[in-house]
Each structure stands twice: as structure tokens, then as C-alpha cells.
């Protein structure tokens, strides 16, 4: 049966190059992978007092969507050499209530896309730090620090370079294999 992958994009921007990259990755995926974008822009700031008073419906919706997925694909910009606050908030929301994290044990992959040359390396690895603690086995190779992000896409969001397209295919194929490997050791 197909593997269900929750796609979490760390940008809320309409023309986000990270969202375009997520869509381009999905286009390259083989048939045994299914993708659902899980939105994070409406999640109220994480607050333990709010949790104790009763989780808002947006948190509950988000936790359910993550829980129902077999794996998680993160595609994120870098903000000030780390992840955008909205993404960290989503990580925190999904990690609670204490002892009931939606992330636990789910295989994950991280892609960072930036207009700059470093390809969001800082964000990519800051995110990995949280994922280690959350007990998510994260794909290690290939790494995806995607630079030059403003030049990657045509008007319809298509990848302009065949080399990039091949790289995206190799990445998403490796993630599919990683999901299988993690499932086999369960």
C-alpha cells in the first residue's frame, strides 16, 4: 500500500520557492508515495496554558494530520540561519501534549531552499536538531541544500534545469527507500 507523506512547508508566502520546490519534488515521486500538504499558518502560538485549558481546533487538526501520515517531508527556508518561527511553532504544537507527540518515530526528510549560495544549510541543520530529539529517523543522504532558488522555476512553477530535476528525483526516490527501510525495522 502507498506511503502517506505529510508535507510541511516552512514558508507562508504565496510565491514561496520552498512551496514550489515541494511541488516539484512531488512531481518526481513514484506511484507508491502519496503527499498531503499540512498547513501551519493558522496554528496559534504554542502556549502550555492554552493546552491546559483545551487545545484549539487548529492544533487538533494539525496533530491528527501528522499522526495519520507515515512520514514527513519538511521543505523550509532559512530565516536568520535558523528555521522560520512559524515552522518551529508547528514543531512544538505537534510535539505535545507531553507523551503524545505526533512526530515520534516517523521517518522524515529535510529540504532547504534559499536564493543564496549556502542553500539554507543553517535552517536545515537547526531543524535536524529538533528532529533528533523528536525521535524521527531523518534521511541523511542525499542532502538537499538548494541554493539559487529564485532562478530555479519557470512561470508555471516548473524546474528550469534538467540537472535540478534529476537531483529532485534522486532525492525523493531515496526518501521512498528510506521510508521502506525504517518500516522494515519496526
**What Å distances lie between residue 105 and 9, 28, 100, 108, 185, CA to CA?**
20, 25, 12, 9, 11
Of 8-16, 35-43, 60-68, 125-133: span binding ligand FNR (CB under 6 A): 8-16
Asked whether position 16 contacts ligand FNR by CB under 6 A, the answer is yes
- Contacting residue, 5, 33, 74, 77, with ligand FNR by CB under 6 A: 77
Asked whether position 13 contacts ligand FNR by CB under 6 A, the answer is yes
| Radius of gyration from C-alpha coordinates of the chain | 16
- The backbone region for 164, taken as left when phi is positive above 0, alpha when psi lies in -120 to 50, beta otherwise, is alpha
Total number of residues shown for the chain: 186
**Close Cβ partners of 7 (under 8 Å, ≥ 6 residues apart):** 22, 26, 35, 36, 37, 38, 72, 73, 75
x/- string (CB under 6 A) for ligand FNR, residues 90-119? Answer: ------------------------xxx---
- Contacting residue, 7, 11, 40, 126, with ligand FNR by CB under 6 A: 11
Neighbours of 178 (CB within 10 A): 19
- Contacting residue, 5, 7, 17, 109, with ligand FNR by CB under 6 A: 17
Asked whether position 18 contacts ligand FNR by CB under 6 A, the answer is yes
Of 11-19, 24-32, 58-66, 91-99: span binding ligand FNR (CB under 6 A): 11-19
Asked whether position 124 contacts ligand FNR by CB under 6 A, the answer is no
**What Å distances lie between residue 100 and 10, 46, 96, 110, CA to CA?**
23, 15, 6, 23
Q: Footprint of ligand FNR on this chain (CB under 6 A)?
A: 11, 13, 16-18, 77-81, 114-116, 120
Amino acid at each position: 500500500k502507498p506511503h502517506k507523506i505529510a508535507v510541511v512547508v516552512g514558508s507562508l508566502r504565496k510565491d514561496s520557492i520552498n512551496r514550489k520546490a515541494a511541488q516539484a519534488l512531488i512531481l518526481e515521486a513514484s506511484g507508491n508515495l502519496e503527499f498531503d500538504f499540512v498547513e501551519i499558518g493558522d496554528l496559534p502560538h504554542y502556549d502550555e496554558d492554552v493546552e491546559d485549558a483545551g487545545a484549539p481546533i487548529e492544533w487538533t487538526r494539525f496533530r491528527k494530520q501528522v499522526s495519520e501520515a507515515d512520514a514527513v517531508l519538511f521543505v523550509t527556508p532559512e530565516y536568520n540561519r535558523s528555521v522560520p518561527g512559524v515552522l518551529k511553532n508547528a514543531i512544538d504544537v505537534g510535539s505535545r501534549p507531553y507523551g503524545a507527540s505526533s512526530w515520534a518515530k516517523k521517518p522524515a526528510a529535510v529540504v532547504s531552499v534559499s536564493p543564496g549560495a549556502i542553500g539554507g544549510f543553517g535552517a536545515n541543520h537547526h531543524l535536524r536538531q529538533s528532529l533528533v530529539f523528536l525521535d524521527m529517523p531523518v534521511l541523511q543522504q542525499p542532502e538537499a541544500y538548494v541554493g539559487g532558488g529564485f532562478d530555479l522555476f519557470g512561470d508555471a512553477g516548473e524546474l528550469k534545469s534538467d540537472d535540478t530535476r534529476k537531483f529532485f528525483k534522486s532525492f525523493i526516490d531515496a526518501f521512498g527507500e528510506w521510508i521502506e527501510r525504517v518500516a522494515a525495522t519496526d
